[in-house]
Amino acid sequence: MTKAQQILGPMRVPFLVLPPACVALGTGTAIWSSGEISVLHIVLAFVGAVATHISVNAFNEYFDFKSGLDLRTRATPFSGGSGTLAAHPEAARTALITASSALAVATLIGIYFLTVWGLALLPLGVLGLILIVIYTPWMTRIPFLCMIAPGLGFGPMMTMGTDFVLTGTYTWTAFIASLVPFFLLVNLLLLNQFPDVEADQTVGRRNYPIAIGRKNASVIFAIILVCIYLTPIVGWALDLLPAWALLALGTLPLGVITAIGAYRYADDLEKLAPYMGFNVILNIVTPILMAVGLFIAA
C-alpha cells in the first residue's frame, strides 16, 4: 500500500461530498438573508468543513481498528469502515496523524474566524471539537447521543456555522435550515448502523438498532424522515425561508421509497443495501436543492 493510499483510505473520500452540500446550504441562507458575503470566507468555510469531516473519519477508523471492531464488521459501500487498517495495520499511525492534522487545520480556520467575528463563534467551535474527539470512544455507547451527534456536527455546527462565518451573526433562518442536514445525518448514521449490529455489540457499542432492534429502529428512521420534509415547510410558513426553499421536497418520493425499504428489509442486509444507497443520495441532493432555492430567491 502506498503512502497516499494509507492517507486517503481512512479519510473515506467518497463520503467527503457531505460537507460541500452543508456549506452550500449555509452559504445559501447567508446570501438570502444578508446579500453580501466574502469569497475568501466561503473558501475557508469549505476547507474547514472538509477538514473536520476528514478528522472525524480518520479518528473513527483509528479507534475502530484499535478496538478490534474493523476485524469483525462486514463492510458495505456505506458502513463498516474503509478496511484500510484491517488490511494494513502498519497504516494506523498514519491514520492518527491524518486525523490530528485535519483537526489542526479546522482549528486554525476556526481561530481565524474568531479574530474576524469575535467569541460568539466559540461555543459552536468548542462543541464541534469535543464531538470529534469523543464520538467514537464514548458517545457510541449511548443510543440517543450516538444518534444525534452526527446531525449536530453537520447541521447546526457546519451549516449554521457556515452562515455565521459569512454574516457574523446567528439567525433563525440559518438555524431552521440547519435542521435539514441535522435530520438527514441522523438518518444516515442510523441506517448505516444496521449491518454492524453484531460486530458493534462485541466492542460495547449501544445504538438504537442494538437497543431496540433493526425493525423498531426503522420506525425511528421513518419519523425522522417526516421531520426532514416538515422543516422547510415550517420555515416557509414562519416566513424564515423563501418559498423556493421548498425545492428540498423534491427528494420526498425517494425518501418514502427509502423508508419503506428500510422497514421491509431491516433484517435482510443484502436487500437493504440499495436503500442505504438511496439514503446517501438523499443526504447530498436534499440540502443542495434547498441551497439552490435560496440562491434563486436571493
pLDDT for the residue numbered 256? 98
Give the pLDDT of residue 77: 67
Q: How far apart are CA 27 and CA 13, in angstroms?
A: 23
pLDDT on residue 200: 82
Positions of the chain with pLDDT lower than 70, given as ranges: 1, 69-81
What pLDDT score was predicted for residue 4?
A: 79
AA identity, residue 266: A
Specify the pLDDT at position 5: 77
Q: Give the pLDDT confidence of 48-95 residue by residue, as tens digits.
A: 999 999 998 898 888 878 777 666 666 666 665 677 787 778 888 888
pLDDT at residue 47 in the model? 96
- Alpha-carbon distance of 243 to 64, in angstroms, equals 43
Contact partners, residue 245, CB within 8 Å, separation at least 6: 177, 232, 235, 236, 290, 293, 294, 297
